[in-house]
Amino acid sequence: MAIETVAPPAARDSNPGPPPRRRNRNRPLWMLAPGGILLVLVILVPLGVALTVSLLDLDQYTLREWTGAPFIAFDNYVEAVTDTALPHAIWVSVGYSALVTVATLPVGLAAALATQQRFKGRALVRSAFLIPYVLPAFVVGTVWRTILMPAGPANSVLGEQHLWLNGPNSYWTLVVVQLWTSWPLLYLLAASGLQSISEEVHEAAALDGAAWWAKLRYVIFPHLRGVLALALIIAFLHNLNSFTLPYVLFGVPAPHDVEVLPVLTYVESFQNFRFGLSAAMAVLSLVLVAIPLSVYLRAVRLNQHEN
């Protein structure tokens, strides 16, 4: 990615001349420098370091002089794929992210449809709907962890002893809590999509005398398809990268059933101190993220006028 960090300073041009917009001079490219330098130093250089480290046998003994750690080419990648929990973690991460994403669709859409028309208290309902999304993930994790602890209110309401934060149930705990905190994003995007449907479309459908579900099915949903598709990709990416919620909810090392990719990578670095191996895992998770991301980037319009 070429961010112009070495942009030449704009030449001071005293005569006004024609609008400089399409001219080569007088473009203040130096204004890109502060942001560009930061992005290069704190994101692009570390990306390069991550790629390098993933090829080294780096652990806590070699960390101090990390550039001198033995070069082992792709051994970390081979080990990550064949001899660690990585394939399992990918399976868990992709599976739960997809489940949550699919589940947010009807919830978010129903919420958007139900709050589209004005009614008394609508502003209040809308604000309430956004609360789970606004709460910091570390607060959401802490609260749900308390609700679901063995002696917590969930079990005392049920009157039975279930383990929610360990064992096979933990997977569904993660799905439900992630759904709880992430569906409002889909709601917001669906609601903004609904607002852009013109009055004429509504009137045409009303004139046809269509039943409400037929109107939704044949008039409203086709209009929302583009917005919803993008919303689903964003939600999926968001779930896939989510670290704080599983980390706070289950702690580390994570229970086997909720050993998601970000937490596994974290543990490999900062608990097991296998830095090289962890970097290889992180690079592989970037490859995984790149698949939905490239779909997203292709779909997004960069310029208003670009169609």
Partner 1 sequence: MRTDVQRLLPRWVQAAVIAVLLVFVMTPVLYMLFASVNDDLEVARGAFWPTSLHLDNYAKIWSTVELGAGLANSVVVAGSVALVSALVAVATAYVLVRFQFLGRGLILRGLLALQSIPGTLMLLPVFVLFANLSAVLGMQVIGTRWALFVTYLTFALPFSTWVMVTYLRGLPAELDEAARLDGASSWRILRSIIIPLSWPGLVVASIFAFLLGWNDVLFASVMTNPDSRTVAVALQVFGATQEGGAIPIYGQLMASALICALPVVVLYLVFQRFLVGGLTAGGVK
Report in angstroms how near the CB of residue 179 gets to partner 1 at its nearest: 9
Report in angstroms how near the CB of residue 87 gets to partner 1 at its nearest: 17
Site residues for partner 1, 259-278, by CB under 8 A, read 261-262, 265-266, 269-270, 275, 278
Report in angstroms how near the CB of residue 72 gets to partner 1 at its nearest: 17
Q: Is the peptide bond before 253 cis (omega within 30 degrees of 0)?
A: yes
Q: Does 70 bind partner 1 (CB under 8 A)?
A: no
Q: Does 6 bind partner 1 (CB under 8 A)?
A: no
Residue range at the interface with partner 1 (CB under 8 A); choices 80-88, 95-103, 167-175, 242-250? 242-250
Q: Does 170 bind partner 1 (CB under 8 A)?
A: no
Report in angstroms how near the CB of residue 78 gets to partner 1 at its nearest: 19
Report in angstroms how near the CB of residue 60 gets to partner 1 at its nearest: 12
Report in angstroms how near the CB of residue 14 gets to partner 1 at its nearest: 7
The size of the interface with partner 1 (CB under 8 A), counted in residues, is 119
The answer to whether residues 279 and 53 touch, using CB atoms and an 8 Å cutoff, is: yes
Q: Which of 5, 166, 241, 272 binds partner 1 (CB under 8 A)?
A: 241
Site residues for partner 1, 19-58, by CB under 8 A, read 19-22, 26-29, 31-32, 34-36, 38-39, 41-43, 45-50, 53
Binding mask 116-135 for partner 1 (x = CB under 8 A): xx-------x-xxxxxx-xx
Residue 268's nearest CA partner among 75, 69, 260, 137 is 260
Report in angstroms how near the CB of residue 171 gets to partner 1 at its nearest: 19
Binding mask 176-215 for partner 1 (x = CB under 8 A): ----x----x--xx--x-x----x--xx--x-----x--x
Residue range at the interface with partner 1 (CB under 8 A); choices 72-80, 81-89, 155-163, 166-174? 155-163
Q: Which of 83, 157, 160, 307 binds partner 1 (CB under 8 A)?
A: 157
User: HEC states along 103-156?
Assistant: HHHHHHHHHHHHCCCCCCCHHHHHHHHHHHHHCCHHHHHHHHHHHCCCCCHHHH
Q: Does 68 bind partner 1 (CB under 8 A)?
A: no
Task: Give the CA angle between residues 40, 43, 46 to the nearest 5°.
Answer: 100
Report in angstroms how near the CB of residue 250 gets to partner 1 at its nearest: 10
DSSP the chain: ----TTPPPPPP--S--S-GGGSSSS--GGGGHHHHHHHIIIIIHHHHHHHHHTTB--BTTTSTTGGGSPB-TTHHHHHHHHHSSHHHHHHHHHHHHHHHHHHHHHHHHHHHHHTSS--TTHHHHHHHHHHHHHS-HHHHHHHHHHHTSTTSHHHHHHTS---SSSSTHHHHHHHHHHHHHHHHHHHHHHHHHHHTS-HHHHHHHHHTT--HHHHIIIIIHHHHHHHHHHHHHHHHHHHHH--HHHHHHH-SSPPGGG--HHHHHHHHHHTS-BHHHHHHHHHHHHHHHHHHHHHHHHHS-SSSS--
Residue range at the interface with partner 1 (CB under 8 A); choices 11-19, 72-80, 81-89, 167-175? 11-19
Q: Does 98 bind partner 1 (CB under 8 A)?
A: no
Complex with partner 1: residue 156 or 168, whichever CB lies closer: 156
